[in-house]
Amino acid sequence: MLVVMQEGASEAQTESVIGRLVTMGFTVHRSTGVRHTLLGGVGPQDDFDPAELEVMEGVKECHRIVSPYKLASRSFKPEGTVIKIGDVEIGGNRVVFMGGPCSVESEEQMETTAAVVAAAGARIIRGGAFKPRSSPYSFQGMGEEGLQIMRRAADRHQLLVISEVMDQSQIPLLLQYSDILQVGARNMQNFNLIRELGHTRKPVLLKRGIAATIEELLLSAEYIMSGGNYEVMLCERGIRTFETATRNTMDISAIPVLKKLTHLPVIADPSHGTGKRDYVLAMARASIAAGADGLLVEVHPNPERAASDGAQTLRPEQFSEMTRQCKAIAAVLDRSA
Evaluate whether 56 touches 16 at the Cβ level (below 8 Å).
yes
Smallest gap from Cβ 185 to ligand PEP, in A, equals 4
Q: How far apart are CA 42 and CA 174, in angstroms?
A: 30
Q: How many residues bind Mn ion (CB under 5 A)?
A: 2
Q: Which is nearer to ligand PEP, 270 or 316 (CB)?
A: 270
Distance of closest approach, residue 307 Cβ to ligand PEP, in angstroms: 11
Residues 50-89 that bind Mn ion (CB under 5 A): none
Question: Is 231 or 309 the residue whose CB approaches ligand PEP more closely?
Answer: 309
Q: Considering beta carbons, is residue 186 or 335 the nearer one to ligand PEP?
A: 186
How many Å apart are CA 330 and CA 327, to the nearest integer?
5
Give the chain's largest Cα–Cα span.
66
Find which of ligand PEP, Mn ion, none residue 237 binds, CB within 5 to 8 Å per kind.
Answer: ligand PEP
Nearest 10 degrees: CA dihedral of 21, 27, 33, 35? 0
Contact 59, 131 (CB under 8 A): no
Q: Residue 132's binding partner, choosing from ligand PEP, Mn ion, none, with beta-carbon cut-off 5 to 8 A by kind?
A: ligand PEP
Report the nearest approach of Mn ion to the CB of residue 85 (Å).
22
| Cβ distance to ligand PEP smaller for residue 73 or 187 | 187
Indicate the angle between helix axes 316-332 and 277-289, nearest 10 degrees: 20
Of 128 and 203, CB closest to ligand PEP: 128
Shortest Å, Cβ 247 to Mn ion: 10
- Which of Mn ion, ligand PEP, none does 184 bind, CB closer than 5 to 8 A by kind? ligand PEP
Interacting positions 186-225 with Mn ion (CB under 5 A): none
Q: 94 to 153, contacts with Mn ion by CB under 5 A?
A: 102
| Distance (Å, whole) CA 30 – CA 297 | 34
Alpha-carbon span 267 to 318, nearest angstrom: 19
Find the length of the chain.
337
* CA distances from residue 235 to 3, 133, 148 in whole angstroms, order as listed: 29, 19, 25
Task: Give which of Mn ion, ligand PEP, none residue 50 binds (C-beta under 5 to 8 Å, depending on kind).
Answer: none
What residue 276 binds from Mn ion, ligand PEP, none (CB within 5 to 8 A, per partner kind)? Answer: none
Give the shortest CB-265-to-ligand PEP separation in angstroms: 17
Q: Which is nearer to ligand PEP, 184 or 203 (CB)?
A: 184
The nearer residue to ligand PEP, 184 or 316, going by C-beta atoms, is 184
273 CB burial (10 A radius; 0-12, 13-18, 19+): buried
Q: Which residues make up the interface to ligand PEP (CB under 6 A)? A: 102, 128, 132, 184-186, 207, 237, 272
How far lies 86's CA from each of 17, 43, 143, 164, in Å?
Answer: 34, 34, 25, 20
231 vs 309, beta carbon nearer Mn ion: 309
Q: How far is the CB of 286 from ligand PEP (least distance, A)?
A: 18
Alpha-carbon distance of 149 to 270, in angstroms, equals: 25
d(Cα 123, Cα 121) in Å, to the nearest integer? 6
| SS3 of residue 110 by DSSP | helix
Contact 223, 191 (CB under 8 A): yes
- Nearest residue by C-beta to ligand PEP? 184
Taking the complex as a whole, how short is the minimal distance between the CB of residue 212 and Mn ion, in angstroms?
A: 18
Short-list 236, 240, 275, CA closest to 259: 236
Residue from 105, 164, 236, 309 binding Mn ion (CB under 5 A): 309
Q: Which is nearer to ligand PEP, 4 or 197 (CB)?
A: 197
- Distance of closest approach, residue 111 Cβ to ligand PEP, in angstroms: 20
Binding stretches for Mn ion (CB under 5 A): 102, 309
